[in-house]
Amino acid sequence: MAKIELVIFDCDGVLIDSEIISTRVQLEHFKPYGFEVSEEEYSKRFAGLVGSQIKSIIEEEVGRSLPDDIYEKIDIDTDIALVKDVKALPGINWLLDNFDQPRCICSNSSGSRLEKTLKKAELHNRFKPYIFAAAEVGDKTSKPSPNVFLHAAKTFDVKPENCVVIEDSGHGLEGAKAAGMRTIGYVGGSHTYQGHSEALMDAGAETVVRSLREVKEVIAAYEIWDGDLEAI
């Protein structure tokens, strides 16, 4: 049996319902440059990626360069929208009240945005100081690199195989798998799309939940099941 000694949460789309807000802001900024897709398609393709990664993909597709400062403008508008409208996802406070393992956040968002949005959602105090921005820790590489996850395990002095990661994006799950951690996919955010569960399973989720309340039971199951992480 493998005891779960650390529960790692992604932030956007797992703790707070922010992905759909960010998606709408970004699509408005990309429209003048000829990139127009549905919110569902955007979420399916880009959830979990950082701005520089998204910018490169879109530039290749539209066949032109986007302004160097486009993400500076997007970030400003996204921060305004998030601080105005973002909320904690249903069930997260119940879950945090009902399991005993240490916990932390591992996110591709910047530390400043994490602080703003988590405070707005009244979750900051439930995780501080263990709130890790991938680009600000370790080797500073973003998911799907395992960097931020391995940094968290090292901080808590636990083995990766004794950690479980809750993610809503394939890129995040790929990073968690590369780190050698147990995985749970979550599809309860407003940005969830048809086929989301299957995409997360393909990316490495060992199971997928629609309610954060289910996570406690999954953690308990993982503690009594030493399933091969490769045999999914």
Q: Where are the domains of the chain?
A: 6-17+87-224, 19-85
CATH fold label, 19-85: DNA polymerase; domain 1 (1.10.150)
- 6-17+87-224 matches 19-85 in fold: no
CB 28 within 8 A of CB 180: no
CA neighbor of 92 nearest in space, from 221, 218, 219, 214: 214
- β-strand partners of 104: 8
Distance, CA of 79 to chain centre: 17
Distance between CA atoms of residues 151 and 155, nearest Å:
6
- Each as own residue / partner, the long-range contacts of residues 54-62 (CB below 8 Å, 24 or more positions apart, any chain) are 54/26, 58/30, 58/33, 61/35, 62/33, 62/34, 62/35
Pick the more confident residue, 229 or 208: 208
Task: Assign domain 6-17+87-224 to its CATH architecture.
Answer: 3-Layer(aba) Sandwich (3.40)
Q: Is 212 helix (H, G, I), strand (E, B) or coil?
A: helix
Distance between CA atoms of residues 70 and 114, nearest Å:
20
Distance between CA atoms of residues 23 and 49, nearest Å:
12
pLDDT per position as a tens digit, 33-49: 999 999 999 988 887 77
Q: State the pTM of this model.
A: 0.89
Number of other CB atoms surrounding residue 230 within 10 Å: 7
Q: State residue 228's pLDDT score.
A: 47
pLDDT per position as a tens digit, 84-138: 999 999 999 999 999 999 999 999 999 999 999 999 999 999 999 999 999 999 9
Q: Extract the tokens encoding 21.
A: 């807000």
pLDDT per position as a tens digit, 153-176: 999 999 999 999 999 999 999 999
The model's confidence at residue 1, banded by pLDDT at 50, 70 and 90, is low
- β-strand partners of 131: 105
